[in-house]
Amino acid sequence: MTMAANSATGSTGATTRVCCPMHNEANNCNFFLWYDNELVLGSRERCVFDVIFDKIERLQAIILSKTQNKVELERNFMAAEANLVKKKDKVRRLKEDRSLLHSRLQKMHNEKWRMRLLCCVNACDVFYCYQCHEGES
């Protein structure tokens, strides 16, 4: 269906009626569409459908822009989420390393005291172990 510019206007009191010539390509017929120009701003100079289609195109451009913004935000969110997962994994590994180091230090500490105890048990029979019994009087 094609549209042409407004070719006629008529007045019925306070409201101006606008005629928009139309062509139906399906059956190759011409017809006229009358409407009140107050219904669509700017339709006095142009066919109401041209005005509406322009508005639809602007709205579609806005929707497309918002859709692109949404896609960009989702992409940024996914990247931030992946980065967060990496950081959490790094923190988990650091905690595991710290725990392993702590257990090794505890083991070394226990071994040191075990060696002192052996030294004390073996040496105290022969002489007094000052390292094991420091602070005792």
Domain range list for the chain: 1-46, 47-137
Enumerate the β-bridge partners of residue 12.
15
- Supply the pLDDT for residue 1: 44
**Cβ neighbours around 51 below 10 Å, total:** 18
- Supply the pLDDT for residue 77: 94
Tokens of 18: 């606008």
d(Cα 80, Cα 93) in Å, to the nearest integer?
Answer: 20
pLDDT in tens, 52-92: 777 888 888 888 999 999 999 999 999 999 999 999 999 99
- Supply the pLDDT for residue 26: 75
Q: Is the pLDDT confidence value at 4 over 50?
A: no
Enumerate the β-bridge partners of residue 31.
22
